[in-house]
Copies of this chain bind each other. A is one copy, B any other.
């Protein structure tokens, strides 16, 4: 899985019928030090993530393992909202701090 920040939304009315009702999030990837990368993905969302939250995104056939999505033409899915990231026993991200600061 990759770490990504929810940056926005993509709206499409003329789409494959199986995608009706899916909210599509625009995600920007984050590196192992917490910096934004010049790489994005549009993903379906199974956990109710909101703008600015950091999430885990699964790509490829993994995206269709969430019940109800087995036959949707999606290749990326938000599978978790991140609470904390620790690297070398150092906290590099905490959702709680993020919102206290904001």
Given contacts A1-B41, A16-B47, contact A11 B84 (CB under 8 A): yes
Choice from B62, B71, B80 contacting A15 with Cβ under 8 Å: B80
Copies in the complex: 5
Number of interface residues of A (CB under 8 A): 58
Contacts of A16 in B (CB 8 A): 46-47, 66, 79-80
Tell me the smallest distance from the CB of A71 to a CB of chain B, in Å.
5
Choice from B8, B28, B32 contacting A86 with Cβ under 8 Å: B8
Contacts of A92 in B (CB 8 A): 8
Contacts of A74 in B (CB 8 A): 1, 58, 62, 65, 79
- One digit per residue, 1 when the CB lies within 8 angstroms of any chain B CB and 0 when it does not, for chain A 11-32 equals 1111110110000101010011
A58 to B10 Cα, complex, angstroms: 14
**Inter-subunit contact A59/B75 (CB<8 Å):** yes
6 smallest CB-CB distances across A and B, nearest first, come from: A15-B80, A12-B80, A8-B87, A62-B75, A32-B40, A65-B73
